[in-house]
Amino acid sequence: MAVLPPINSLDVAGVKSVAELAETEGIRESLQFFAREKRWIDEQHLEVCRVPAPTFLEQKRAEWMVAQLRALGCDAKIDRAGNVVAPLTGPKDGPFVAVTAHLDTVLAPRVPEDIRIERDGRFYGPGVSDNGAGLAALLAIARLVKTHSCLEGMDAGLLLVANVGEEGEGNLSGMRFLCRQSALASKIKSFVVLDGPTTDHITSEALASRRFELTFTGPGGHSWSDYGVGNPVHALSRAIALFAENGASFSRSPRSSFNFGIIEGGSSINSIPTLARAKVDIRSERAERIDELTLLLTSAVERALEVENERSTGGRVTARIREIGSRPGGRLAEDAPILNFIRAVDSYLGIRSHLDCASTDANIPLSMGLPAISIGAGGSGGGAHTPGEWFHPEGRELGLRRVFLTLCLLLRSFSKSGE
């Protein structure tokens, strides 16, 4: 974890530039907007979270976002991948600076009342932190831009994107389409990804990962009369145990992880199952370690299959490993302008942040060599991906000012460079 240097050891000219920008008439008024519109932002945050959007089923939330953005005067639409895209300022043909937040959630509210405010001021419910915070920030920025003229006259435009497919098996599908297949792909020159609330981090390195589904099959039968035939659940359990036991030594340096998040199989307690399935997530700061863990997984499956079939008295078990997801890695150079901009903004605002390595939508542009960071949108939160997820809006305006100033610097850089 690299803590950013204090203000006196940063590029003083950069921090001074942020201070001068923040004191210009239009920007100074814009920075006050986020505190003045706190209630409206909170209301939008709650409302968007009440529209269920589990991965692969984000359409209703996308339609809700389009309606809100159009009501603010934005030319918003849904692209072929399901992403909401809305150019807010600048030339029609770009170049663009994209500010993005993912639409989907791991869990979804069953009824609107699942999203609620408690007496302590916290929001509770699925997705209120990850990524209700990011989506509320997009709406706040859109309203600011459409009610103020602070970003007019720039040589680059601001593009707002609420994308699909960030969580789980979505495999970053929305960002992949945006960066590789959409008509906007060649026009977006940098990305600011808003994911969650906290302002204590800057994700500048993409954590690579691969995901696999293990499937064991066998003839099945009665637990008594057919006892002894190959059992897929037994074989799968052995494969998981072998991999977990040997994989632990691979997780230290470079930092790596693995997780069996889903296990399925069987139909009744007195039936030998015909099928057992598991899904595993493997991550590492280095691609070669992922390759090593993948080989270890294959070896564990083969060994488990061998042991189960050796002890079987009839009916063999077979197995298959299928890749169901892959997130590429990448990292910003230490002197990347986008990194210098966010550092200068943090120093100006008094934010103590650190650089980190994580798996976010920024993985895709970073893997393509495009400037991208992922940061929080302000406030605080916890319990992501659990039924106890929460978000507290106190201090949200600090995070929104951070986002806005960083976007201003990125947009201004095009004018200064002549791009």
How many Cβ atoms from other residues are within 10 Å of residue 298's Cβ? 15
Q: What is the per-residue pLDDT for 149? A: 77
**Does residue 49 share a domain with residue 143?**
yes
Task: Give the helix/strand (H/E) hosting 308.
Answer: helix 287-311
Torsions phi, psi for 178 (to 5 deg): -60, -40
Shared domain check, 89 and 194: yes
Number of domains the chain is built from = 2
Domain boundary among 274, 299, 327: 327
Tell me, yes or no, whether 197 and 214 share the same domain.
no
What the block records as the tokens of 262 is: 């889903």
Spatial separation of the C-alpha atoms in residues 63 and 77, rounded to whole Å? 9
Q: Do 322 and 382 sit in the same domain of this protein?
A: no
- Rounded to an integer, what distance in angstroms lies between the CA atom of residue 143 and that of residue 24? 20
Nearest to 194 by CA among 408, 403, 410: 403
Residue 105 DSSP class: B
Q: Where are the beta strands (DSSP E) in 27-95?
A: 77-78, 84-87
pLDDT for residue 417: 53
CA–CA distances in Å: residue 301 to residues 117, 275, 305: 47, 15, 6
Q: Would you say 206 and 361 are in contact if contact means Cβ atoms under 8 Å apart?
A: no
CA distance linking residue 52 with residue 112, whole number of Å: 9
Closest CA to 177 of 99, 37, 79: 79
Question: Pairing mode, if any, of strands 116-117 and 275-284?
Answer: unpaired
What is the C-alpha separation between 398 and 400, in angstroms, rounded? 5
Say if residue 218 is in the same domain as residue 364. no
Residues 106 and 310: their CA atoms lie apart, in Å, by 40
Residue 271 CA to residue 268 CA, distance in Å, equals: 5
Q: Are residues 222 and 363 in the same domain?
A: no
Retrieve residue 127's tokens: 């997705």
* Residue that is last in its domain, among 300, 327, 354: 327
Structure tokens at 386: 């659990």
pLDDT of amino acid 350: 96
| End-to-end Cα, the chain, rounded Å | 34
Report the pLDDT value the prediction gives residue 13, as an integer from 0 to 100: 63
Q: Of 307, 327, 347, which residue is a domain's last? A: 327
- The predicted pLDDT at position 252 comes to 77
Residues 255 and 216 in one domain: yes
Residue type, 90: G
Determine the Cα–Cα distance for residues 80 and 78; give it in Å rounded to an integer: 7
CATH of the domain at 252: 3.30.70.360
Contact 129, 382 (CB under 8 A): yes
Residue 28 belongs to domain spanning:
2-206+329-417
CATH number at residue 194: 3.40.630.10
Q: Are residues 127 and 26 in the same domain?
A: yes
Residues 177, 299: one domain?
no
How far apart CA 178 and CA 361 sit, in angstroms, is: 11
Which residue's entry shows tokens 């707002």? Answer: 160
Ordered alpha helix ranges (H), 313-393: 337-349, 363-367
Q: Are 203 and 373 in contact (CB under 8 A)?
A: yes
What integer pLDDT is reported at residue 90 of this predicted model? Answer: 85
- Series of mean pLDDT values for 10-residue runs along the chain (419 residues): 39 78 90 96 98 98 98 97 95 92 97 96 97 98 91 87 96 98 97 97 97 97 95 98 92 89 96 98 94 97 97 94 96 94 96 96 98 98 96 98 96 69
| Residue 375 and residue 244 share a domain | no
- In this structure, the answer to whether residues 227 and 360 fall within a common structural domain is no
| Residues 254 and 294 grouped into a single domain | yes
